[in-house]
Structure 1
């Protein structure tokens, strides 16, 4: 059993048996309907289900209700809902990074469709700059100074390359509310970028690609035999938590045949990567985990029971193989110069 598999197992992601690369059956977590004050909003996990037209749909992001218990004040919310042009997300106030991000990728959204005219204006990352998200309350906000000389990259959870359809959409991916600290060399600038590229390339095979990015905190076994979760916190004073792992969870759909465009073939899969340098030659399938494992350890319900029961594994529907693109280094050098400059 690999270290990642052992960590997820200990975190209670699966009951009985060991981890396998296959998808296991599980009951989706129910949506919390607990009553809270009207002043408190909470974000329900982004459940993907099947709509009446047979297409995958995201559930409602937030709900509000009331309770007299919180008449004179309330402590929440823990997560702030974020709705942007290219993605939706939930920002974790405790950890100062997203709890999850969700995207819907298509050839059209990436500007690669021959049937849809490209927009007059497209996003240029050299015109974008990292910035603090003023929609997040100041006490819970990630700051530029937190990353300064931290040793970590400001890692996009939603890649800028997924939002090329407009400059505004791309600019929104540079909010720090879309960032989490990532090891740079060997991960954010390399293997993680290869995985992001693989997600985009799925649009060449599937009509719709849903991508969820989830920072994770997995336990490790200490010399005393006990399992603990420990992680670094960057900033002065310490402010932004550094995830131990990151997950990419994908759901794809395409018509089963041209004659039946409304009958969809679904495929899903999850990949859990350590926040550490990963050799280029490492097979992507090494990081395959059950979707349910990610859901359990993250406390999310990503897909409905109907989706889970009808989905193939993504590696059965397409090749799970990254393409090493070292030329990304040259493209990201201006970004890295900005990353090591003093915050304003």
Structure 2
């Protein structure tokens, strides 16, 4: 489904950086890629679903805290003061309500957020993959699952989850982006008042939530990450399944999104035969054996031309 002009306008007002990244990704022709261990890739294909894991067990356990710290500092600074005076002038008492609601929810941003990570994939990476990602996520036998981007960039309410680009920002850069949102609100004040307080409040709170969940230290910028985000206490979906899985020897609660289309809800392109573009076998001791097994998995999943879609990276990385 194509978003309405009003929806696009509000997206541009409250999430200008993400709006630009979405448009750039759509026009670039790039795909997404999920770097993982071969075990995780095996589970994904065989089970026909992708797992979302708690943000508390992500590689960089400070990720959520970093975004939260950036937002709090901006809120307490000059730009935050300007935002508070602006929104209270539009809807009296809004800044206090927003602060109270945010304080209530902020502990759950880590405790009740489940994430699957994707990276932008360049055409030039089709044969080798990306060395830094093999090192970070491949383990002794890494696999990169390259997927077509359509379903991740679509507008649909089929699942109570959303896909967002990650912003790699210093505090000063975060302040600049925060100020962009404030300026946008000032410039569109009459339009936003006409939309009503609740609509305005919901969009601003969601912008704050996204800023916390999708801001990372600029040292990670080479990952070019996008996140699939689900928070069951915030917005539960009957289509996303909870289970307890053993991951690297540790039991964890995970939520799984089936690779299934919901055409009546404008959610298409998620089924494996259409979703998988190619698979790159990373540096490993037995690459030919892993490739052969992966081809069989894809054939069992009815992915067409499976053998032509699985390649072995020739990067000479020692594990």
TM tier relative to shorter chain: under 0.3
TM-score normalised over the length of structure 1: 0.26
TM-score normalised over the length of structure 2: 0.27
Which structure: greater strand fraction?
Answer: 1
Which structure: greater helix fraction?
Answer: 2
